[in-house]
Structure 1
Amino acid sequence: MKLFHFLLFIFLFFSFVFSPSSSQASLPHQCLDNQTLALLRFKNESFSFPSSSSSKSESWKPDTDCCSWEGIKCDNTTGHVISLDLSWDQLVGDIDSNSSLFKLHSLMRLNLSHNSFHFFNFNSELFGFPQLVNLKHLDLANSGFSGQVPLQMSRLTKLVLWDCSLSGPIDSSISNLHLLSELVLSNNNLSSEVPDVLTNLSSLVLIQLSSCGLHGEFPGEFPQQSALRELSLSCTKFHGKLPESIGNLEFLTNLYLDNCNFSGTLPNSIGNLTALQYLLLDLHNNSFDGITDYSLFTLPSLEDLMLGKNRFHSLPDEGPFTPSSSLSWLDLSENEFQGLIPRMLTVLTSLEILNLSSNKFNGSMDLGIANLTFPQLVSLHLSHNHWLMTDSDDLAFPNLKMLKMRSCNATKFPSFLRNLHNLEALDLSSNGINGQIPNWIWSSSLIGLNLSQNLLTGLDRPLPDASSLQMGALDVHSNKLQGSLPFLSQQIEFLDYSDNNFRSVIPADIGSYLSKAFFFSVSGNDLIGKIPTSICSARNLQVLDLSDNQLNGTIPTCLGNFSSELLVLNLGGNNLQGTMPSSFAETLSTLVFNGNGLEGNVPRSLSTCKGLEVLDLGDNQIHDTFPFWLGNLPQLQVLVLRSNKFYVSASYSYYITVKQKMKGENTTLERILNIFTSINLSNNEFEGKIPKLIGELKSLHVLDLSHNNLDGPIPSSLENLLQLESLDLSHNKLSGEIPQQLVRLTFLSFINLSANELQGSIPSGAQFNTFPAGSYEGNPGLCGFPLPTKCEVSKEALPPIQQQKLELDSTGEFDWTVLLMGYGSGLVAGLSMGYILFWGNGFIAESIATKMQQLRLRSSQQRRS
């Protein structure tokens, strides 16, 4: 028996090992030679693969099995390539019908998405994709393909997924794609109405048409028993009512209709969509109105219901209904709801996020119901309403983490806040809250607190132990806080004390309190003394704003380059003396030193700040040649050098070199000249003529060259500045007549040509009929309205002067052409950059926007004065 068992084992073993079928099943088939050759030719054709090692094609080597190459999958039985994935591979080039790609006839999946085939016409006669008749998945999204949907697409009858970038209408031949289950045409420019054929494809499970340029009514009818599970029409131009037949989509789980033009009431049939999980109706510029139906709140699988930015004015009347137990996010913001909050909301006990902001609610927040409870609520938005604040402690939100009550007419701290023991972010800004900040507000769980734009006068004592706090963001700007700076915590990351009335010195050990801070502002106070050098130990700061105080002394030499992440440094509006720091952080985007008494030169080290967008050195005592080298800063948008002592050196070697280098680069020059928006070089020592080239600054809004020594005529090329709003050429030595062509400047709201040597008649018509006499005073030769001097003979408008090409000026005068050419990204009026920061859903960003608006206003007032 033992011998029998042994012989049986040997027989079975060798039968298994040498069985042809078992051998083929256990070992994958190697890539066929013709498949390898096709792939290698595809790689080496008129097609650019990146040289970086991150490219999938790096593994594509001759004499290796192509089935092992990255991005390639083969059929284990035949060795044919069935899947090719080169998505996100930085490919550039052209593909035609002769491409070796189309020799891979067994391809079932092809993904070339997120590349740059910018020369390819998808609708050309050389279209080759229909040769791949076995394709089931075709993904060409964001790959640069263009053209209409070609007729040949109907040959791909096995296609299940199609994601493509197209333009032009969708051809009806797509109706032959009976197996198509996923159609993604988002982010295209189809510019047509939706063909009914899309809704007739019974196999479609997913339709994504967001941002595709389609318009019209979508569609006439949805078919019954449709398999559709996701429908996305976001950011399209569909209009009219949502069809009642949408209720036929009984398997629909995701419906995205945001940013469309739908109007009217929501169809009652939406209540039939019992599988719906996400209904996004965040429809600004839409007109959904009327009363929302009960059925929306009873859909059993619904999790998110977004009805914001419409014209809904009523929720259903109170009545018995069974709310969805899945509804966790309800957005009713920016509608026309008014009066008391409907009681029906009180039964939605599964809510985690509730947004009622920007409506006309005017009742008590507690709805008049004792012990109102939302046990799961973590985020509550009540801003921009007309609530009647009460002292009720009955509102119970045991898990609430974020509460936003901006602009709610509150005059004191709501008492129910005492019960919010888990609160992490609180926004009570832009109310009328007065008195002291209560010490109970400093909850140990609080991370972000915004009390800005109120009437607060101080802080209750005793203050809590800072070590027990987790505070990361504190904004109390624009109140009436007085005295010394409040306590600081080493946990603080965002701190804004600006626009109060603190009168104290900055603490000597300020750096230790800002060890984790990325934002620190005490602007608009009455701080005195010097800037302590310890502030340079705050190495994480991205924004440091000490502007508009009474700080004196010199700028610490370390301050220009103390943080490797510094974006904004604003010391403007103080009494600082001495010179600027010799080095600056290369990360800087905004540098403001205006309104001090700084002397010396503009540090050449600023040329390394390639991301610098705002440079304001105005109203100082800087005595330096004009810094032409600033023209090397490619992102410069704001340049203010007014009221200094800049002059032009007798040596012109530098800007001659720049000029010659720019010669012939007309395309680049045209781009540069079209993005200037402001030039302010007033109150300096510039001389020479205003160049005709200034008329090429097509986007210019503000031009201020006042208080210099400019002479010659006002160039008539200024007529091309059709966006110009403010023009100040006063206090120069300009002569000749005011060009009649300037009447074309219909946006011009301010002009000052006073204190020059101009003569002749003042242009009449359009905006020139609105300017006061003071705009022309100090020009004895001028006549006509609004001056009392009448003109004896009215003169006709001068013909436009043809723009002259750039030529090297060898006269020895200051060459303004070079100055205008030098700045790579133009200039923006005022401090328009702003601080690019956010906190939570943006209420800190809103306060920053307010701060920058105030800066712009002050800058405008200084300019006009």
Structure 2
Amino acid sequence: MFSPSFSQASLPHQCLDNQKLALLRFKNESFSFSSSSSSKSESWKPDTDCCSWEGIKCDNNTGHVISLDLSWDQLVGDIDSNSSLFKLHSLMRLNLSHNSFHFFNFNSELFGFPQLVNLTHLDLANSGFSGQVPLQMSRLTKLVLWDCSLSGPIDSSISNLHLLSELVLSNNNLLSEVPDVLTNLYSLVSIQLSSCGLHGEFPGEFPQQSALRELSLSCTKFHGKLPESIGNLEFLTNLYLDNCNFSGTLPNSIGNLTALQYLLLDLRNNSFDGITDYSLFTLPSLKDLMLGKNRFHSLPDEGPFTPSSSLSWLDLSENEFQGPISRLLTVLTSLEILNLSSNKFNGSMDLGIANLTFPQLVSLHLSHNHWSMTDSDDLAFPNLKMLKMRSCNVTKFPSFLRNLHSMEALDLSSNGINGQIPNWIWSSSLIGLNLSQNLLTGLDRPLPDASSLQMGALDVHSNKLQGSLPFLSQQIEFLDYSDNNFRSVIPADIGSYLSKAFFFSVSGNNLIGKIPTSICSARKLQVLDLSDNQLNGTIPTCLGNFSSELLVLNLGGNNLQGTMPWSYAETLSTLVFNGNGLEGKVPRSLSTCKGLEVLDLGDNQIHDTFPFWLGNLPQLQVLVLRSNKFYVSASYSYYITVKLKMKGENMTLERILNIFTSINLSNNEFEGKIPKLIGELKSLHVLDLSHNNLDGPIPSSLENLLQLESLDLSHNKLSGEIPQQLVRLTFLSFINLSENELQGSIPSGAQFNTFPAGSYEGNPGLCGFPLPTKCEAAKEALPPIQQQKLELDSTGEFDWTVLLMGYGCGLVAGLSTGYILFWGNGFIAESITTKMQQSRLRSSQRRRS
């Protein structure tokens, strides 16, 4: 790095006139600068010393500008070789990162950076620069081109950059293999190539005298083995290999990296396997060892080696480790965070031994194994703040939990725990508690004072809890009581308990009474789910627009009456009112919800014209209007439960989002013909137009719906013959054309040979298999029916434009949606806990410089 020498014998030299002129011209040339007072260039005044301007540093002896930093300055425009920027020939450090040079291309003949012959450090990160990696700048010692939309390949002439010490090409789109010469740049101290599109096998040889201290290859697409020569990098302190495609065993030479501090091998897309080498556990400076999400199956046995005394974080999760816990772990006494989750460990897990072995333990993850847990009342774990024992065959609350007065996050979900939730569990330090998917029936009394708890997340969904809804903390941010047996009214003052909440669900209980208007004071709610209860009365008029952050509002499956609210938050993405008794019209104010993805108004009494204006909602993906009285003259990131009538049966599909594409406009009052335009919806899986007043022929253009699995056109007034072309629909497993006025022979072949007679009943003019009525021989011998001219588009009776608008981004209609957020599965638990315990846990986790 450049370190300017300053003369202590003289005052700093003022900016030279030609330097000031070049800077002012650069400011005024082709850029638009923000008028915000935060812009560095606002301090650039002609009557002041340019060396005092923000973002400028000068050489104290000569007055030449040697450093220019305009990062995050909202610059927009182009730079060509004639730019005044390149008149600053003494410039050594240039930072233009985080601006918007949308049209610049490094490959352009106007490329002017080589004119800056003294430049040692160039940072153009996230500035919109594009093209191939620039090779003209051979004098650079630091090259930072992170997130620049660069493309590959990396040319071998990059080896000319002999002085390069830091190469950052992360978050680009190089789409090439790594040239061998990259490992021969002896001056490189840091190589950061994460998320840059590199692929292929990593170069086989690292040099013996490499000065490399940091190597980051995260989120690349390498394959094959990690080269044995990685052991040559004796000065390496940081090694990031997460989310690559490396496979095979780790090279034994990795034990030579004695300076290593952070070994990150949390490899969601790697396939390292075999036995983890004991040398990994002996590296004297190693602090974090992350081996999660691989295929390791064995730990080395305890042997005659000295374990690392600095190792504080060990992640062995999501591998194939099996059998009892290795004795190796019992000698790693400095561990603060231990993650053994999602393996095949079995046998006895003696928490008493863990208590003695890991006195500094702060976080312990044991979830998804086959333990038989043993514990005792006298266990202490004095520093333990997070314990995750999801799906660990636990049948009762471990008694040692009484002693964990510093516990901040506890996950006992998906076990077989039954009975009451003990009142001693409500520790004042507890931030997150997940007891979901157990057999719990109630809460021991007395309940704690809501003002005494700091709990931010409580998830008890999918139990058998009864009685009234308990509200245990006024600090709550995430509260999930769904799928229990609570039977009570919603408290009239519920808003006071949810003042900080962003998620509240009581779906799938037996709640009665009205929705209290005080819930509208919970102005931070993003998700409100009161579905599948027995709530009655009208929807409070404030409920559609009470929170400026509202994303999901689900009131489906109740006994609500009246009309829909007339105002809605523009942030809304999911609105579900299905299965109530709502009347009136669909509020046109929904047209302002430009992010709306799910609109389910099915199974109500809404009497309105078809809402064609919904076609203006660019994100609309799920539209359900079934069983109403519509007429004319159909991520989040959360998990959803999708209920739909498909293939003739009511089905529930969990954890599906935007997988099925479906149109369900059944049980309405639509009239007119089915237009051939529907054949353009080529991603359609489910089409249900049953129970309407549609007439005319079945369009042969349906043959283009090659993904179609379910077709229901029953209970209409369709006429003509069934198009023979439909035999092309080889995925079709359900069809219902009953109760129409169809005639002629039923197509034969492919899927049509599997459909029962009930698919065609109520059409007296039909004949052929599987009906008992035989067709005339002459008619059976006819070639496939050509589509008749009767399938002309409806002339104004039913406009299908709204169905096609937005279909390119995946219009999904006909899905009656609810959702299930599984806090215990990870992201909700981690975000809540991390947020609220950050100050307390920070000292226990590794600080990376």
Q: After TM superposition, is the score higher than 0.5?
A: yes
Q: Per-residue deviation at 1:321?
A: 3.3
Pair 633,51 (structure 1): closer, same or farther in 2 beyond 3 Å: farther
Q: Would the aligned equivalents of 2:675 and 2:792 in 1 still touch at CA under 8 Å? A: no
Unpaired runs of at least 5, structure 1? 1-16
Q: Distance in 2 between matches of 1:586 and 1:842?
A: 29
Q: Per-residue deviation at 1:483?
A: 3.4
Look up the SS of the partner of 2:131 in the other structure.
coil
Q: Would the aligned equivalents of 1:242 and 1:263 in 2 still touch at CA under 8 Å? A: yes
Q: Would the aligned equivalents of 2:613 and 2:802 in 1 still touch at CA under 8 Å? A: no
Q: Would the aligned equivalents of 2:664 and 2:814 in 1 still touch at CA under 8 Å? A: no
Pair 785,62 (structure 1): closer, same or farther in 2 beyond 3 Å: farther
Pair 571,674 (structure 1): closer, same or farther in 2 beyond 3 Å: closer
Q: Deviations over 1:377-409 (max 9, x none)?
A: 111111111110234346542111111111112
Q: Would the aligned equivalents of 2:664 and 2:687 in 1 still touch at CA under 8 Å? A: yes
Pair 657,703 (structure 1): closer, same or farther in 2 beyond 3 Å: closer
Q: Would the aligned equivalents of 1:153 and 1:173 in 2 still touch at CA under 8 Å? A: no
Q: Deviations over 1:124-157 (max 9, x none)?
A: 4443332322221122333333333455344768
Pairing 1:609–2:593 present = yes
Q: Would the aligned equivalents of 2:663 and 2:814 in 1 still touch at CA under 8 Å? A: no
Pair 425,834 (structure 1): closer, same or farther in 2 beyond 3 Å: farther
Pair 294,198 (structure 1): closer, same or farther in 2 beyond 3 Å: same
Pair 210,344 (structure 1): closer, same or farther in 2 beyond 3 Å: same
Q: Per-residue deviation at 1:848?
A: 14
Q: Would the aligned equivalents of 2:32 and 2:76 in 1 still touch at CA under 8 Å? A: yes
Q: Deviations over 1:335-370 (max 9, x none)?
A: 111111112212222212111000011122217848
Pair 407,669 (structure 1): closer, same or farther in 2 beyond 3 Å: closer
Q: Would the aligned equivalents of 1:139 and 1:163 in 2 still touch at CA under 8 Å? A: no
The percent of aligned pairs where both chains have the same amino acid is 96
Alignment: residue pair count:
849
Pair 693,856 (structure 1): closer, same or farther in 2 beyond 3 Å: farther
Look up the SS of the partner of 1:430 in the other structure.
coil
Q: Deviations over 1:595-653 (max 9, x none)?
A: 01111122233333333322211100011122233333343332211110011269999
Tell me whether 761-770 or 373-382 shows the greater mean CA deviation: 761-770
Q: Per-residue deviation at 1:791?
A: 4.9
Q: Would the aligned equivalents of 2:431 and 2:833 in 1 still touch at CA under 8 Å? A: no
- Aligned position for 1:7: none
Q: Per-residue deviation at 1:852?
A: 26
Q: Per-residue deviation at 1:45?
A: 4.6
Pair 164,475 (structure 1): closer, same or farther in 2 beyond 3 Å: closer
Pairing 1:640–2:624 present = yes
Q: Per-residue deviation at 1:767?
A: 4.5
Pair 528,672 (structure 1): closer, same or farther in 2 beyond 3 Å: closer
Pair 167,768 (structure 1): closer, same or farther in 2 beyond 3 Å: farther
Q: Per-residue deviation at 1:702?
A: 3.3
Tell me whether 400-409 or 785-794 shows the greater mean CA deviation: 785-794
Tell me whether 468-477 or 792-801 shows the greater mean CA deviation: 792-801
Q: Deviations over 1:784-808 (max 9, x none)?
A: 4544545557999999999999999
Q: Distance in 2 between matches of 1:745 and 1:861?
A: 57
Q: Deviations over 1:409-453 (max 9, x none)?
A: 222222222222211111111111122222322223222211111
Pair 644,438 (structure 1): closer, same or farther in 2 beyond 3 Å: same
Q: Would the aligned equivalents of 1:110 and 1:139 in 2 still touch at CA under 8 Å? A: yes
Tell me whether 524-533 or 805-814 shows the greater mean CA deviation: 805-814
Q: Would the aligned equivalents of 1:493 and 1:514 in 2 still touch at CA under 8 Å? A: yes
Q: Per-residue deviation at 1:500?
A: 1.6
Q: Deviations over 1:228-258 (max 9, x none)?
A: 0000111122222222221111110100111
Find the partner of 2:823 among 825, 839, 846: 839
Q: Would the aligned equivalents of 1:135 and 1:159 in 2 still touch at CA under 8 Å? A: no
Higher alpha-carbon Rg: 1
Tell me whether 681-690 or 768-777 shows the greater mean CA deviation: 768-777
Find the partner of 2:345 among 340, 348, 361: 361
Tell me whether 485-494 or 516-525 shows the greater mean CA deviation: 485-494
Q: Would the aligned equivalents of 2:699 and 2:787 in 1 still touch at CA under 8 Å? A: no
Pair 473,166 (structure 1): closer, same or farther in 2 beyond 3 Å: closer
Q: Distance in 1 between matches of 2:88 and 2:557?
A: 70
Q: Would the aligned equivalents of 1:89 and 1:114 in 2 still touch at CA under 8 Å? A: yes
Pair 662,845 (structure 1): closer, same or farther in 2 beyond 3 Å: closer
Q: Would the aligned equivalents of 2:643 and 2:651 in 1 still touch at CA under 8 Å? A: no
Q: Per-residue deviation at 1:490?
A: 3.3
Q: Per-residue deviation at 1:831?
A: 5.8
Find the partner of 1:49 among 33, 48, 66: 33
Q: Which structure exhibits the higher relative contact order, with contacts defined as CA atoms closer than 8 Å and separated by 6 or more residues? A: 2
Q: Deviations over 1:689-737 (max 9, x none)?
A: 2233333334434333222222233333334444444333322222334
Q: Per-residue deviation at 1:306?
A: 0.2
Pair 758,113 (structure 1): closer, same or farther in 2 beyond 3 Å: farther
Tell me whether 411-420 or 748-757 shows the greater mean CA deviation: 748-757
Q: Deviations over 1:241-295 (max 9, x none)?
A: 2222211111101001111122222222222211111101111232211221222
Q: Distance in 2 between matches of 1:329 and 1:857?
A: 13
Tell me whether 846-855 or 278-287 shows the greater mean CA deviation: 846-855
Q: Per-residue deviation at 1:773?
A: 3.8
- Aligned position for 2:164: 180
Q: Distance in 2 between matches of 1:817 and 1:857?
A: 55
Q: Per-residue deviation at 1:497?
A: 1.8
Look up the SS of the partner of 2:329 in the other structure.
helix
Tell me whether 250-259 or 149-158 shows the greater mean CA deviation: 149-158
Q: Would the aligned equivalents of 1:346 and 1:372 in 2 still touch at CA under 8 Å? A: no
Q: Distance in 2 between matches of 1:403 and 1:822?
A: 45
Q: Distance in 1 between matches of 2:840 and 2:701?
A: 29
**Equivalences for residues 241-640 of structure 1 within 5 A:** 241-366=225-350, 369=353, 372-393=356-377, 395-486=379-470, 488-640=472-624
Tell me whether 699-708 or 447-456 shows the greater mean CA deviation: 699-708
Tell me whether 686-695 or 347-356 shows the greater mean CA deviation: 686-695
| Root mean square deviation of aligned Cα | 9.1
Tell me whether 474-483 or 219-228 shows the greater mean CA deviation: 474-483
Q: Deviations over 1:162-212 (max 9, x none)?
A: 996532222221112111000112222323322221111110000111122
Q: Would the aligned equivalents of 1:834 and 1:852 in 2 still touch at CA under 8 Å? A: no
Tell me whether 843-852 or 233-242 shows the greater mean CA deviation: 843-852
Pair 230,739 (structure 1): closer, same or farther in 2 beyond 3 Å: farther
Q: Would the aligned equivalents of 2:423 and 2:444 in 1 still touch at CA under 8 Å? A: yes
Q: Per-residue deviation at 1:739?
A: 3.8
Pair 125,834 (structure 1): closer, same or farther in 2 beyond 3 Å: farther
Task: Give the TM-score normalised by the residue count of structure 2.
Answer: 0.86
Q: Would the aligned equivalents of 1:160 and 1:179 in 2 still touch at CA under 8 Å? A: no
Task: Give the TM-score normalised by the residue count of structure 1.
Answer: 0.84
Tell me whether 776-785 or 128-137 shows the greater mean CA deviation: 776-785
Pair 542,662 (structure 1): closer, same or farther in 2 beyond 3 Å: closer
Tell me whether 597-606 or 725-734 shows the greater mean CA deviation: 725-734
Q: Deviations over 1:756-806 (max 9, x none)?
A: 333444445555454444333333344445445455579999999999999
Q: Would the aligned equivalents of 2:633 and 2:796 in 1 still touch at CA under 8 Å? A: no
Pair 51,653 (structure 1): closer, same or farther in 2 beyond 3 Å: closer
Tell me whether 347-356 or 726-735 shows the greater mean CA deviation: 726-735
Unpaired runs of at least 5, structure 2? none
Q: Distance in 1 between matches of 2:640 and 2:220?
A: 52
Look up the SS of the partner of 1:199 in the other structure.
helix
Pair 627,539 (structure 1): closer, same or farther in 2 beyond 3 Å: same
Tell me whether 60-69 or 509-518 shows the greater mean CA deviation: 60-69
Q: Distance in 2 between matches of 1:42 and 1:412?
A: 71
Q: Would the aligned equivalents of 1:716 and 1:800 in 2 still touch at CA under 8 Å? A: no
Pair 133,308 (structure 1): closer, same or farther in 2 beyond 3 Å: same
Q: Would the aligned equivalents of 2:146 and 2:171 in 1 still touch at CA under 8 Å? A: no
Pair 61,806 (structure 1): closer, same or farther in 2 beyond 3 Å: farther
Q: Would the aligned equivalents of 1:743 and 1:768 in 2 still touch at CA under 8 Å? A: yes
Look up the SS of the partner of 1:346 in the other structure.
helix
Q: Distance in 1 between matches of 2:778 and 2:796?
A: 37
Pair 19,274 (structure 1): closer, same or farther in 2 beyond 3 Å: closer
